[in-house]
Amino acid sequence: MVADPEAGGESCFAVSDGRFSAIGENVPAARRVDLGGATVLPGLVDCHTHLVYAGDRCSEHALRLGGASYEEIARAGGGILSTVEAVRTATETDLVEAALPRAHALIREGVTVLEIKSGYGLDLDNELKLLKAIRRLGEQLPIRVRATFLGAHAVPPGRTRGEYLREVVDEMLPIVAAENLADAVDIFVETIGFDLTDLSELAQAADRHGLPLRVHAEQLSAMGASGMAARLGVTSCDHLEFARPDDVAAMAECGTVAVLLPGAFYFLRETQRPPVEAFRGAGVRMAVASDLNPGSSPIASLLICMHMACTLFGLTASEALEAVTRHGAAAMGMEKTAGIVDVGRPADFTVWDLPSPQHLVYQLGGLTPTAVYAGGNRL
Ligand code: NIG
Ligand code: FE
240 CA from centroid of ligand 2 (Å): 11
- Among 12-21, 25-34, 223-232, 297-306, name the one with the lowest average pLDDT: 25-34
Q: Give the H/E segment covering residue 137.
A: helix 124-140
Give the span between the Cα atoms of 1 and 373, in whole angstroms.
12
From the CA of 20, how far away is ligand 2's center (Å)? 32
How far is ligand 2, taken at its centre, from the CA of residue 50, in Å?
6
Cβ neighbors of 317 (< 8 A, separation 6 or more) are 310, 357, 358, 360, 361, 362
Residue nearest to atom 1 of ligand 1 (CA): 291
Nearest ligand by distance to the CA of 214: 2
Output phi, psi for 286, to 5 deg.
Answer: -110, 125
Q: What is the mean pLDDT of residues 237-252?
A: 98
Atom nearest to 293 CA in ligand 1: 10
Distance 357 CA to ligand 2 centre (A): 27
The answer to whether the beta carbons of residues 188 and 153 sit under 8 Å apart is: yes
- Residue 30: predicted pLDDT: 84
Taking a C-beta distance cutoff of 8 angstroms, is the pair 229, 256 a contact? Answer: yes
With 70 as the cut, is the pLDDT of residue 4 above it? no
Q: Which atom of ligand 1 is nearest to the CA of 83?
A: 10
Fold annotation for 2-42+341-378? Urease, subunit C; domain 1 (2.30.40)
| Percent of residues, the chain, with pLDDT higher than 90 | 91
pLDDT of 10 over the 80 cut: no
Q: Give the mean model confidence (pLDDT) for residues 152-167.
A: 96
User: Can you tell me the distance from the alpha carbon of 131 to that of 153, in angstroms, rounded to the nearest whole number?
Assistant: 14
Q: Which long-range contacts (CB under 8 A, 24 or more apart) does 352-360 make?
A: 352/38, 352/39, 352/40, 352/41, 353/38, 353/39, 354/39, 355/39, 356/39, 357/39, 357/41, 357/317, 357/318, 357/321, 358/317, 358/318, 360/303, 360/306, 360/317, 360/320, 360/321
Q: Is the pLDDT of residue 27 over 90?
A: no
User: Residue 32 above 90 pLDDT?
Assistant: no
Crossing angle (nearest 10°) for helices 196-208 and 225-232: 20
CB 369 within 8 A of CB 354: no
pLDDT for residue 31 is more than 80: yes
The pLDDT assigned to 311 comes to 98
> What are the backbone angles phi and psi of residue 256, rounded to the nearest 5°?
-75, 140
- Reply yes or no on whether the pLDDT at 2 is more than 70: no
Average pLDDT for residues 64-92, to the nearest whole number? 94
CATH for the 44-331 domain, from 3.30.565.10, 3.40.309.10, 2.40.40.20, 3.20.20.140 = 3.20.20.140
Name the residue at shortest CA distance from atom 5 of ligand 1: 296
For 279-325, write each residue's pLDDT tens digit. 999 999 999 999 999 999 999 999 999 999 999 999 999 999 999 99
Q: Which atom of ligand 1 is nearest to the CA of 80?
A: 10
* CA torsion angle 335 42 261 98 (round to 10): -100
Sorted by where each begins, the domain ranges of the chain are 2-42+341-378, 44-331
Confidence of residue 172 (pLDDT cuts 50, 70, 90): very high
205-227 residue pLDDT tens: 999 999 999 999 999 999 999 99
E strand residue ranges, the chain: 12-16, 19-24, 39-42, 44-46, 111-117, 144-152, 184-188, 213-217, 236-239, 257-260, 286-288, 349-352, 371-374, 377-378
Give the pLDDT score at 359. 94
Q: What's the mean pLDDT when you consider all of the chain?
A: 95
Pocket of ligand 1 (CB under 6 A): 50, 79-80, 83, 188, 216, 219, 264, 291, 293-297
DSSP E strands in 60-135: the ranges are 111-117
User: What's the pLDDT score for residue 5?
Assistant: 40
- Stretch 246-263: mean pLDDT: 98
- Compute φ and ψ for 204, nearest 5 degrees: -65, -40
| Residues 332-355: tens digit of each pLDDT | 999 999 999 999 999 999 999 998
Which whole number is the average pLDDT over 148-168?
97
Q: In what order do the strands lie in the sheet with 349-352?
A: 39-42, 349-352, 371-374, 377-378
- pLDDT at residue 21, as a whole number: 93
Section 229-238 average pLDDT: 98
Q: Residues 74-97, buried b or exposed e (16+ Cβ, 10 A)?
A: beeebbbbbbbebbbebebeebbe
More confident residue, 355 or 48: 48
Q: Region 92-120: what's the mean pLDDT?
A: 98
Instruction: Measure 187 CA to ligand 2 centroid, in angstroms.
Output: 9
Q: What is the pLDDT of residues 57-75, one digit of tens each?
A: 999 999 999 999 999 999 8
